[in-house]
Amino acid sequence: MDLAKYRTLFLEEASEHLAEMSRALLVLEKDPASTESIDLVFRMAHSTKSMAASLGYEAISEIAHRLEDRMQVVRSAGRIEDAADLPLLFRGLEALERMVEVVRETGQPPPPDSELAQALGSTPGLKKKFLRHP
């Protein structure tokens, strides 16, 4: 299997997804209840997670998965309720952008960011969600 071909496709699509995610987060800064933007960030995180996982870019997949989970909580609430969420979401986006750049520059998987993964995963909404679903 020619990974270079798939890596190139990943880099193109991931860059597009992250740009769309950035635009949607900027909208959410002004309108925390923008359903379209909430759904877009969720979908872009999901797509990035899936693409990264299929190529073995576990660090990218992990951060994208945590963003996806966090956005599911936001989707359930219908808005970004916690003011601390937006800076953390932007931080996740910036980490994904850096990680994709590592792949672009080196062709290698980026290192994990355990601290960010933990920060993205530690939300009261997530804990409540998982406690409700055994």
In tens digits, what is the pLDDT along the chain, a chain of 134 residues? 568 889 999 999 999 999 999 999 999 999 999 999 999 999 999 999 999 999 999 999 999 999 999 999 999 999 998 888 999 999 999 999 999 999 999 999 999 999 999 999 875 544 444 333 33
CA distance 60 to 31: 28
The pLDDT value given to residue 126: 46
The pLDDT value given to residue 1: 58
Please tell me the total count of domains within the chain.
1
The pLDDT value given to residue 83: 80
What distance lies between CA 58 and its chain's CA centroid? 13
The pLDDT value given to residue 127: 42
DSSP single-letter state for residue 34: -
What is the amino acid identity at position 74? V
Q: Residue 16: which CATH number?
A: 1.20.120.160
Could you tell me the residue range of the domain that residue 104 belongs to? 3-132
42 and 23 Cβ atoms separated by less than 8 Å: no
What distance lies between CA 94 and its chain's CA centroid? 10
The pLDDT value given to residue 123: 58
Residue of 116, 69, 74, 80 lying closest to 95 (CA atoms) = 116
